[in-house]
Structure 1
C-alpha cells in the first residue's frame, strides 16, 4: 500500500471529495432513491383516498357516474392534450423513450412539470372512476425525481439513471424491491441494451427499503401460501398461459391500433380526441354502473378472487373493456393494476374448470399469464406476483404459464406494448 502523502491526499480529495463528480453522483442517486420511496408512498395514499371518495359517491348516488365519468374523461383529455401532452397514458413508454435519447423531447418526457401534472391528472381520473393504475405514473414520476436530483447536483443524467429511477418507482409502488430489479432488466433496459450497474440496483433497493420502512412490510395482495402438485401444474399452467396470452395479446393489439395514427381507427381517434374520450367515458360508466366492479384499479375484486371469494365469471371481460376504453381515451394512468385485476378475472374463470385445485393458485396463474400477455415481461410478472402474495411455492408453475403466455401473445400482437408506445413519443417528438 502506497504511503499517504499530501500530494496523494489532495488527488484523492479531488477524485472522491464532496466536490468530485463521483461523490455528487452518489449523493444524487441516494437522495433520489429516498425521495422516490417517499413520493411513491404519498402518491399511493392519495390514489387510495380519491378512490375511496369515488366509491363513497357512487354508493350514495349510484347513477351519478353516468354523467361524471364521461364529462370527467373529456375534461382530463382536454387538459392533457393542451397542457401536458407528454403525460398521457401509462408513463412507462415515456421513460423508455427518454432512456433511448432518440427524442428531442427526452428531457421534457421526465420533467417535474410533466410528472407532477401526470400525478394530479391520474388522481382526477381515479376520482372519475377510470380503470387505471398508479404504478405506470409512479415510474414516470420516479424517473423525473431522479433526473431532478441529478440537475440539483449538476450531474449529467445517464440512460442507466432513467432505468434506476423508473424501476425504483416499481419497487416502491408494489413494496417489491426484487420486482423493481426484474423490471429494470427486462423492460426498461430492453433486453440488456443498457448495463444495469451496481448503482442502479442500489437505487432500487434503497427506494424499496424506504417504502418498507415507512409503510411496513405489507403484502400487496395478502399472503396466500398456495401450491399445486406437479400433475395439476402440468394441466393448469398451459391452460392459463394460453388464455392469458391470447387475451393479453388482444388487449395490446387493440390499444396499439387505437393509439397509433398508422391505421384508420387510430387516425379517427387522433382527429377527434375529445369525442373519443367522451364515448370511452360513457362506456366505462355503463360498465361500472351495471357491474359495480370495474371502477378504478380493481384491487378489491382481485384480492377477493385470490382469497377464493365468489366474483362473477364475466368480471375479466368487463374489466378488460373498461381498462381498454380508459386507455384509448388517452387519460394519464397506468395499466399495471387493472391488468392484474383482469388477469385475476380470467383466472377466476379457470377456477371453475379445475374445481379440485386451490382457488388462489389458479387465480394467480391467470394473473401472471394475462399480465405477461399484455406487457410481454414474464420475469417481471412472476416476481411481482410472487412478492405481492408470498406464493413462492407457485414460482415454477407461474414461470411456465408466463413463458407460454409470452409466446402465445406474439401470435396476436407482434409488437411489445410499451416499446411500441414509446416509439409514438420518439417519432412525433412530443408524444
Structure 2
C-alpha cells in the first residue's frame, strides 16, 4: 500500500488516479471523456439502479493494481522467499463486514505499523500506517480541480490528508473513536437482514433510487458514520470519499452482500423488462435523462481491448473478475456434493441458495428474546415500513442524518 500510494498522482493507475474515478477531480480516466450535457461530477452511479453493479469493476481494478504491488514487494525477499510469494499469491482485497464487526478495524486506525524489510525480512522498521489516511502528494491541491472555497465541498480541499469525523476542537484531526462509535450505534445487521429477507428485485436491493430498503442505504449510513457531518470528513462526501483507505474495504463489503443476495435470489432479473429507469442527474460520462438498462455501459470500465464497456449483464457474476467470498465457497462445496454432477441447474441453484441462506442466518439473523429460532431468509415476506431522508446530492443520504438534525 505504501508503494501504491507513493506512485505519482499523474499516473492513472496510481492510488490517487484510481481513487479519483469515484468523485473528484472530475476529469477523464482512461480516455473516457465527459459527454455533452453531463454534469461535472465523478463517474459513480449513486442513487441510480446501477449503484451495486457499477462499483464491482471499480473494486476489481483497484484489487488488481494493488495485487501487482503486493507481488512486486514479495519478489524482493530472498530469505523465506517462498513464504512471502505464497502470501502474495493468496492476497485478496479485504472487506470490512461492518454488520458484524461494528467498529473500524484496528488495521485502519493504528497510526503506525511495524514491517519486516526486504531482502532478508529480519530488519524491522516502524512506518506511518498507509491504511489510516491518504496524504495528498501535491498540496495545496489544484484549486481548479479541488476548489478550496467550494461550500458544497465543505472546504475539504483545504486539508492535506483524508479525515474521519474531524474534531474542530483539536485542529481538525480525525476522531477514530467517534467514527467507530457512530458505526456501532447503527443496527446494520438488522438492516442488511431486512434486505435479504424482504427485497426480491435487483433494483430494489441495489439502490435508493427504488422504493425499498437497499444496500446503498446501508452503504450511505456507514459513509456518514465514519466520515462525520458536523463537521464533515472526506469519507462522508461523494467527491472525496474514494481517497480514504477504508473506501475499498467498505465497497468490497457491499459487493459481498450483493453477491450473496444474488446467490439467494438467483432468478431475479437484473432489471425487469417493464421497468423504465432513467438517470435524473447523470454522471461524468452519462447525460441526464439517459435510459438505464442491464446493458448500459459501466463507464469508465472497459471489458475488452476493442473498446467495449462492461455492462450490468457482463459484471453481474463475480466469476467474470475471478474472485469469490467465503460464504459462497462454503455454499459451493454443498453444491459440489450433489450427485450426480450433471444434476439439473435448478437443483444446483436451489442448493446454492439454501446454503447461502444458512450462512446469512448464522451471521445476521436477529436472535429472539423469546425463542432461539431464527427466521429463515426464505420465509414469506411481511409488510414493513421504511423512511428515507434525502440530503444534498454531494452528501451521502442516510437515515442516521435524521438523528443529527
Q: TM-score, normalised by structure 1?
A: 0.28
Say which structure is richer in strand: 2
Q: TM-score, normalised by structure 2?
A: 0.29
User: With CA pairs under 8 Å and 6+ residues apart, which has the higher RCO, 1 or 2?
Assistant: 1
